[in-house]
Structure 1
């Protein structure tokens, strides 16, 4: 008779997995530490213990960011599934069944990086709630909210014609200059810029900052969406004001070493319409949680 006790495998904690996923998404221990309200040292210790428990190295630290190893890429898929399953299980027992319809407004620049995850998680937790989404400019979304066409909307502060005290602040991130790594656009005079159309907060912040120091510039590329600005930067046609978290290779952050002035923070606020209900509040909570988790 075999009396050997079974080997006890380590358990993966949800809190550590959330930190691991946040680092994988942001490419930075420092940014993740701010998102999860821990010190950078505490985040590093979490990952060190995770690596020790699995016996694998999960990240490679590079000059400007960290990247996943092959083992880290494998774990990332499991981590995302485990976190989704955890949320689904908790919601099944702790959240009452909801039904109805919620209309959410969201700016173009947030729709691709935030919306898919929010809608996926919310649909698992509240499958009977229908979510309609309107993507557009912040100023247009506020108008629709006031007309009762939206129940919730996210707006970017600093847009011309909008009150920056509306709603609740849910996210703050530095707005920085960005351009192609090794590109020549930042060296040209007048300085070529890729900007959104007039009224955009990023545009106003960039032009005000350049005007303050008297730097000569020209608008070389204009587009309503950040994807257009990103394309112009990748082609080295221009530089642009960009939220720090959106910068990915082959782009890099530019700064004082290039003679560029600092920019204000980029903020996002959540606004509620007049007709609040449990379904609206549940989606609002999910949006806030998505920003908190990065």
Structure 2
């Protein structure tokens, strides 16, 4: 296939500057030139000028400027994906040569709903930049992770939480997204009475939020299926045995979000809290930063 670029331009494509990409990603993630300027220690006018030059370089509009925020164009969405990857590779390369060598062991605890979404990427990235650190992963219920952290059996944990609870009070919220009702596409479980539910065991924040809102609305329900894992809940939904409260980002075909037409009441946000054992060390702190970066990329 013949290239459409003039002969002089082949091999002379412009390079994307890492600082400009960092500014672009900050604007895209915050939705605001003002907020991004604070993050990268520049003025909003300086960011606006850099974005204009970047758009001229690529020949594409990257943002739609609205009254109170900016949003990405389709081309901006594509560049955001490339930008995050390029910045991540740049960080890994610099870390390999300049960062102090880390070693030791980090005991990392997570619930399965959280770990399955980010853990493969986090562990792969961390292993490339810090190969001397051994990471031991424990998967279990959020309440168990808190108990093991307090016993100093774990160095770093991720737990799901609602608007209240010990995890939110003690930890750092690193991710939040809507908790929604989910069911089988084309299924009938949501129309049954009493409403059949597939829930995790006692202590799960999603279970507590769902039952609380159903009780307040006076809707009849029955707990038709209980599972310690999200995969077990999803199996019940795929069999059209029940509906379940799940984070919006976890819903994949053949499941779908059950919106207002089912008459189900709205739920609060699902949040992920990160807690570190005091004095756990540099390796734990570094892994924690990798975890936070992975959640930022989910936004």
- TM-score, normalization by structure 2: 0.75
User: Which of 185, 190, 195 matches 1:191?
Assistant: 195
Q: 5+ residue gaps in structure 2?
A: 1-6, 33-62, 65-69
Cα shift at 1:99: 1.1
Distance, in Å, in 2 between the alignment partners of 1:185 and 1:35 is 39
Cα shift at 1:237: 1.2
Cα shift at 1:186: 0.7
DSSP-derived class of the 1:189 partner: coil
> Which residue of the partner structure matches residue 44 of structure 1?
72
- Identify which range, 9-18 or 238-247, moves more after superposition: 9-18
Quick check: 1:225 aligned with 2:226?
Answer: no
Which 4+ stretches in 1 moved above 6 angstroms?
12-18, 32-35, 78-81
DSSP-derived class of the 2:183 partner: strand
Distance 1:203 1:50, change over 3 A: closer
1:204-243 to 2 correspondences below 5 Å: 204-243=208-247
Distance, in Å, in 2 between the alignment partners of 1:261 and 1:16 is 44
Distance 1:262 1:43, change over 3 A: same
Cα shift at 1:138: 1.1
User: Which of 99, 107, 114 matches 1:103?
Assistant: 107
Query: 8 Å contact 1:106–1:135 — kept in the other structure?
Result: yes
- Identify which range, 102-111 or 158-167, moves more after superposition: 158-167
Distance 1:248 1:163, change over 3 A: closer
Cα shift at 1:89: 1.2
Query: 8 Å contact 2:182–2:258 — kept in the other structure?
Result: yes
DSSP-derived class of the 1:248 partner: coil
User: Which of 143, 150, 158 matches 1:146?
Assistant: 150
Distance, in Å, in 2 between the alignment partners of 1:33 and 1:238 is 41
Distance 1:178 1:12, change over 3 A: farther
Distance, in Å, in 1 between the alignment partners of 2:173 and 2:260 is 29
Quick check: 1:92 aligned with 2:119?
Answer: no
Cα shift at 1:14: 7.3
Distance, in Å, in 2 between the alignment partners of 1:202 and 1:34 is 32
Distance, in Å, in 2 between the alignment partners of 1:251 and 1:14 is 40
Distance, in Å, in 2 between the alignment partners of 1:34 and 1:107 is 31
- TM-score, normalization by structure 1: 0.76
Kindly provide the CA deviation profile for residues 17-39 of structure 1, in whole angstroms up to 9, marking residues without a partner as x.
99xxxxxxxxxxxxx99982227
Q: How many residues align?
A: 253
DSSP-derived class of the 1:164 partner: helix
Distance, in Å, in 2 between the alignment partners of 1:170 and 1:160 is 15
Distance, in Å, in 2 between the alignment partners of 1:131 and 1:184 is 44
> Which residue of the partner structure matches residue 13 of structure 2?
9
Please provide the CA RMSD for this pair.
Answer: 3.1
Distance 1:37 1:79, change over 3 A: closer
Cα shift at 1:255: 2.7
Query: 8 Å contact 1:160–1:199 — kept in the other structure?
Result: no
Query: 8 Å contact 2:170–2:275 — kept in the other structure?
Result: yes
DSSP-derived class of the 1:210 partner: helix
